[in-house]
Amino acid sequence: MKKIIVLGAGLIGKEAAKDLSSRHEVTAADRVGDALVRAFSGVDVRTIQVDLTDPGAVRRVVEPFDLVVGALPGFLGRGALEEVIRAGKDVVDIAFFPEDPLELDNLALESGVTAIVDFGLAPGMSNCLLGFHAAGMKRVDRFECLVGGLPRDRECPFEYKAVFSPRDVIEEYTRPARLVEKGEVVVRPALSEVERVRFEGVGELEAFNTDGLRTLLHTMRVPEMREKTLRYPGHASHMRSMREAGFFSTEPIELSGASVTPLDFTTRLLFPAWKLGPGEEDLTVMRVTVQGIGEHGKAETVVYDLLDRYDTEGGVTSMARTTGYACAAAVELLARGLFARKGVCPPEIVGAQAGCLDFILSHLHERGVVYRKTVTRDKPDS
């Protein structure tokens, strides 16, 4: 049993904490006391109310613990992770902050820390699957991840609901998307190259470019890589119209004598429109494709399909399940000594180590998060 602290008790951090609490002594830290009480009522998770925007407070609060989970909003994530590393604590982080986590690698090595970063769904499991196959195949030629969280029930005009802040979603729609084509990093506009894709149990969705490859751009030598976000058809067009009209701009404008940014105004309007209501169900869809030459010299295509749905019995969103439980599985790797590489370790590095992916997939399967794997092989490579 380890003493574990979870920094951030939002929808995903909360579920990671609950998952870990059945095997470890878990404490959750957040600045909103009422939210902590509600999140862990009837659950064996201790709570600490603390302002985690203060770097000094982060270092102080993690000091008594063996392991740390970083589940803060992106804008706080990088600073908090640095303080955790400076405190000498092993950590699994799912803040998905915009900065490059590999910039903290030297600090983690100097501190003797294992910092597993980005270990959620995508980035997270998608990277882990690629890392596993890149280590086992003779060559990987192509990687594609199609992924999205969606409401079960479609409502106009957006046909979308989010389990996190609209600001974080809009960031995906405005940040240029980096892909790899013919071995070179290329940049495409977010929401571009829309295509229709059919998924069993869901129907037809649209996929469009977003900037989701993150550490894969630096750690993987694969000539073709891309990630696309999935939504119900028509959503990308709505978002492009709003973006081009300036609704996502961060440049202040004068409005009734006050200075406001269009983005602040837009997110204030979208938050109630996009928020899942009590008991409102969501689903998560992901398809990861890895193509290349397998260990026996045959052309090989491996596809992982995930369709996960809201847990009606536990009242847990699918996005919290698929992300929070993956994070908890990575924490278990550290707690059991199954992964001990020092430095900043993105999920593809974890997946490349023997036994790690099988452990994580088993952990998820026990909680009803099931990845269906399909392998096809062609004639031997000439």
pLDDT tens for 120-149 read 999 999 999 999 999 999 999 999 999 999
User: 248: helix, coil or strand?
Assistant: coil
Confidence bin at 382 (pLDDT 50/70/90): very low
Q: Per-residue pLDDT for 313 more than 60?
A: yes
Confidence bin at 380 (pLDDT 50/70/90): low
CATH of the domain at 254: 3.30.360.10
Q: Per-residue pLDDT for 284 more than 70?
A: yes
Residues 96 and 196 in one domain: no
What is the pLDDT averaged over residues 37-63? 91
Q: Per-residue pLDDT for 163 more than 80?
A: no
Residues 297 and 327 in one domain: no
**Count of structural domains, the chain:** 2
Confidence bin at 287 (pLDDT 50/70/90): very high
pLDDT tens column, 51-103: 999 989 999 999 999 999 999 988 899 999 999 999 999 999 999 888 999 99
d(CA 263, CA 60): 34
Residues 151 and 284 in one domain: yes
d(CA 192, CA 177): 9
| CB of 91 closer than 8 Å to CB of 115 | yes
What is the pLDDT averaged over residues 25-38? 86
Residues 152 and 102 in one domain: no
Residues of the domain holding 222: 125-309
Q: Domain for residue 99, yes or no?
A: yes
d(CA 256, CA 223): 52
Q: Domain for residue 146, yes or no?
A: yes
Give the pLDDT confidence score for residue 379 in this predicted structure: 65
- Name the least confident of 27-31, 237-241, 378-382: 378-382
CA dihedral 233, 239, 241, 244 (to 10 degrees): -150
pLDDT tens column, 343-360: 999 999 999 999 999 999
Q: Domain for residue 195, yes or no?
A: yes
What is the pLDDT averaged over residues 300-318? 95
Over the chain, what is the mean pLDDT?
Answer: 94
Which residues, in sequence order, are CB contacts of 120 under 8 Å at separation 6+? 12, 94, 96, 322, 323, 326, 327
Residues 111 and 184 in one domain: no
Q: What percent of the chain stands above pLDDT 90? A: 84
Give the pLDDT confidence score for residue 7 in this predicted structure: 96
| Higher-confidence position of 11 and 78 | 78
| Higher-confidence position of 234 and 163 | 234
Which residues are bridge partners to 19 per DSSP? none
Give 152's DSSP letter: S
Residues 67 and 34 in one domain: yes
Q: Domain for residue 374, yes or no?
A: no
Give the pLDDT confidence score for residue 279 in this predicted structure: 81
Give the pLDDT confidence score for residue 251 in this predicted structure: 94
Residues 138 and 272 in one domain: yes
Alpha helices in 68-139 (DSSP H): 74-86, 105-111, 125-136
Domain boundary among 309, 333, 355: 309
